[in-house]
Amino acid sequence: MEQKFPLVFAVMFLGYTSIVYNRQSIPYAAPIIAEGENLQNSDLGVIISSQHLGYMIVKTMAGPMADVVSLSLLLWSSLFLTGLTLASFTAASSVLMFSVASFLCGFVQRPSWGACAVLLKQLVEPQQFATWWGILSVSTNVAGTVGLFLSAFCVESYGCRSAFLAV
């Protein structure tokens, strides 16, 4: 497995970076969504809070899930389902529909972090775990930094609804 570690780690890093970026894309686009859909700040609050609620609910189950479900299945299903829920955002036409899509987006993302943690623990020696965990944790910072620029570019280039398909 040592030979495959760089590839597996790179896939975990990029996969989790993508998941975090996609989770943050809804708040990034919130002002543009509000303008395009004539939403109030309170509507945006409901939409963004729905995402956090979905994320929080699954957070309590994600650890035990990572202990019994295939790790690659958790990671890849989180990535795939996140894409689907963001694509459903393009069809939303009311605060309720935006909120449901946002809730589902948060709900399907959380299992990926537990899967990354367990997989990393299986791949590295205990004395190296903290180092690799720290490096993997940087993926959230990469998503937060690059995501702002990428989101602005996608929204400017494709428009708000199409940008959710591009991410």
What does the block give as tokens for 30?
């919130």
Q: Is the pLDDT of residue 67 over 70?
A: yes
Domain ranges of the chain: 5-166
139-148 confidence digits (pLDDT tens)? 989 988 888 7
Class of domain 5-166: mainly alpha
Q: Is the pLDDT of residue 117 over 80?
A: yes
Burial code (b: 16+ CB inside 10 Å, e: under 16) for 95-115 equals: beebbbbbbbbbbbbbbbbbb
Q: How far apart are CA 115 and CA 117, in angstroms?
A: 5
- What does each C-alpha distance from 26 to 7, 12, 159 come to in angstroms? 30, 22, 14
What does the block give as tokens for 66?
């990572």
Give the mean pLDDT of the chain.
Answer: 86
Entry pTM: 0.82
